[in-house]
Amino acid sequence: KSEMENYQYTVDDLNTMYASLRSVATEVGKGVVAVHSIQHQVDWFDNPIETTGQYAGVLIAKTKAEALILTPEEAIEAADSIEVVFQDGTVVPGKIKQRDTVANMAVVSIELSTLTNDQTKKLTQVELGNSYSVKQGDMVIAVGGPAGIVHSTDYGFVSYVVKSVQAVDGISRVFYSDVQSNSGMGTFILNTNGQLIGWVTDKYDREGECNMTTIASISDYKGVLQNLSNGFAAPYFGIRGQEVNSAMEESGLPQGIYVTDCIADSPAYNAGIQPGDIITWINGSKTNTMKDFQNQVESLKPGDKVNVAVQRNGKDSYKEIEYPVTIGAR
């Protein structure tokens, strides 16, 4: 055994370790905000009333004119107006920059002109980390609303890493952790350097296979996040799939992307693409791997019209069919 494995940790060692984690969480906590989703309604007597939902957000970017906040899509889903509340109690109006209903993320902006110079200088941006380097056993910090209260914090470990989970229009890394979480309110996961490596999601727990916290990998969504931050909607094709591997090819399947699920009412679904189809090219460019497919979809814009070739299994063999698909917005 190594010297580290033989070392007997004391209570003081543990206290020192947790003090270090607490210091990281406290520093990053300056970049955590409450996002108030306000709905304007009337009561039985036609009197105007306001109802407010509270969500967590993290400040991910700052320009000369605005600051950008990542928050769950639910925070803006039914909002008539948005308020952003900082840790010191400062309240400023927020604007919906863009949303992604598939990944359940949204970006809200605040104008820096609504803050004093001193407040602007104190804005703490949460750095985006490299979630591809996350390994089983790594310690993580949850900020945002893991306990169901904005500005709560928790600590845990990465129990399992799945490198290629089928996501809508691509593949994604997913981490499982014992850390406490609340996906609806917004829980953001940091490494021990205080960098954002993911956010808690319920999108990949469709079968309820485990009771652990499911974390989406931030690095797989940096392209989407960049689009949202610039006010552009992310392109939407609408399938889950896997690349045809060598074993599948030996069984007679053509090369391409095997469609395992076609999302109801998605652009692909409405065009006529079905589960079991194999997508071989988009606008003439081959889609032999999921990365090929993902890159081609991400290069498109909502409203773009593309021709998609699929191989469909018939009575005796596969037959090529072409479909015109109008790309949607996620």
CATH no. for 32-122? 2.40.10.10
Tell me which residue of 33, 19, 34, 29 sits closest to 194, measured CA to CA.
29
- Indicate if 131-212 has the same CATH topology as 32-122: yes
Per-residue confidence (pLDDT) for residue 321, from 0 to 100: 96
Integer CA distances (angstroms), 272 to 262, 276, 284, in order? 10, 12, 19
Tell me which residue of 191, 239, 240 sits closest to 215, measured CA to CA.
191
- For 168, half-sphere exposure in the C-beta direction (CA atoms, 13 angstrom radius) is 23
Q: Which two tokens stand for residue 247?
A: 């074993």
Can you list the residues of the chain whose pLDDT is less than 50? Answer: 1, 207
| Three state DSSP letters for 156-181 | EEEEEEEEEEEECCEEEEEEEECCCC
Q: Where are the domains of the chain?
A: 32-122, 131-212, 235-329
- Count Cβ neighbours within 10 Å for each residue of 145-173 and write b for 16 or more, e otherwise: bbbeebebbbbbebbebeeebebbbbbbb
Q: Is 119 left (phi over 0), alpha (psi -120 to 50) or beta?
A: alpha
- As a whole number of angstroms, the distance between CA 169 and CA 296 comes to 10
Classify domain 131-212 at the CATH class level.
mainly beta
Per-residue confidence (pLDDT) for residue 132, from 0 to 100: 94
First to last CA, the chain: 51
- As a whole number of angstroms, the distance between CA 105 and CA 43 comes to 31
Q: Which two tokens stand for residue 53?
A: 């939902």
Integer CA distances (angstroms), 196 to 86, 132, 142, in order? 19, 12, 10
Phi, psi for residue 218 in degrees, rounded to 5: -65, -35
CATH 2.30.42.10 is held by the domain 235-329: yes
Cβ pair 206, 135 in contact under 8 A:
no
